[in-house]
Amino acid sequence: MSKSEDVWQKRASALQNPEALDQKEKDWWVEIEPILVELLEELKSRGKIEISFVPTEIEHMGSILGNLAQIGTNNSLLFDSIRTIGKFVKANSEFGFDEVKIAHLLVESCVLRCIMDTELFKVLLLFHLKGVSHKAANYNSTFTQFAPTAWKKLKPYVDNKFRNSLAHGTWAIEGEQVVLFEDAKVIPYEKLNFDEFIIRVKKQNLLFSCLYNLLIQKNKDKFFR
């Protein structure tokens, strides 16, 4: 393993490990993984898998993944803190935090994590391809063209409508719900209880994490040789 590959793989400990999942999350993983395998195989059959990487490219990708790892760590720490909300509020009240602000901060952290998970899922896939557009904005047309069979199966798992509401700022906390809007008409298309919101965020995290772990395994299996 090269030094640059080692830098990248060290990120694994801070990203989702399938061994740590609960049963429902494992079930989601089992659904997603074979479709991702099929996607990679279809891309390879069309000669679109990159097998030669410049070390600096791997280092830069490692830095990008490091962003996500840190966001995930911070998000998890906030969740752990919320479990003892009274103690957390007491410790941070002198800085102006109260239960409402902390609850909103947790949602904000989940918003950022979901956007990053969704976008880096696309970026990480595109990073491993050649002879395609590497712009994340073109991911749908890219995979429709070069892996139409597997992409049709995988596309429903990429919750882009959810991501767009979060990324475009068209979401709000109203009462005990996170309300999602499609555009500037601000007509709600979905209202989620907090637990439902967290599950939606978690699914995008699992989608990215499954791909990440699969690519590491594929590299060990010399898929990219």
Q: How many CB atoms lie within 10 A of CB 65?
A: 24
Q: What is the pLDDT of residue 12?
A: 42
> Domain for residue 168, yes or no?
no
Distance CA 210, CA 186 (A): 34
Q: Phi/psi class of residue 138: alpha, beta or left (left: φ > 0; alpha: ψ in -120 to 50)?
A: alpha
Give the per-residue pLDDT at 155: 96
Cβ neighbour number for residue 34 with a 10 Å cutoff: 11
Point out the least confidently predicted range of 41-50, 82-91, 124-133, 210-219. 82-91
Statement: residue 2 has pLDDT above 70 = no
Do residues 106 and 173 make contact, with C-beta atoms less than 8 angstroms apart? no
d(C-alpha 32, C-alpha 118), whole Å: 14
> Is the pLDDT higher at 90 or at 215?
215
Let me know if residue 172 belongs to a domain: no
Is residue 109 situated within a structural domain?
yes
Does the residue 182 lie in any domain?
Answer: no
Answer whether residue 140 is part of any domain: yes
Average pLDDT, the chain: 88
Residue 142 lies in a domain: yes
Distance from C-alpha of 79 to C-alpha of 60, rounded to nearest angstrom: 29
The total domain count for the chain is 1
pLDDT tens digits along 16-51: 555 567 888 889 999 999 999 999 999 999 999 998
pLDDT the model gives residue 19: 59
Cβ contact 101:91 at 8 Å: no
Asked if the structure places residue 81 within a domain, the reply is yes
Cβ–Cβ < 8 Å for 89, 102: yes
How far does the chain reach from its first CA to its final CA, in angstroms?
13
DSSP-assigned states of every residue in 63-104:
HHHHHHHHHHHHHHHHHHHHTTHHHHHHHHGGGT--HHHHHH
* pLDDT the model gives residue 18: 56
8-state DSSP, 49: B
Assigned domain for 141 exists: yes
Q: For residue 70, give its domain range.
A: 3-12+21-154+198-220
* pLDDT, tens only, 119-157: 999 999 999 999 999 999 999 999 999 999 999 999 999
Answer whether residue 10 shows pLDDT above 50: no
* Tokens matching residue 100: 């409402």
- With 80 as the cut, is the pLDDT of residue 111 above it? yes
Cα–Cα–Cα angle for 44, 48, 50, rounded to 5 degrees: 95
When mean pLDDT is compared across 14-18, 41-45, 93-97, 159-163, the lowest value belongs to 14-18
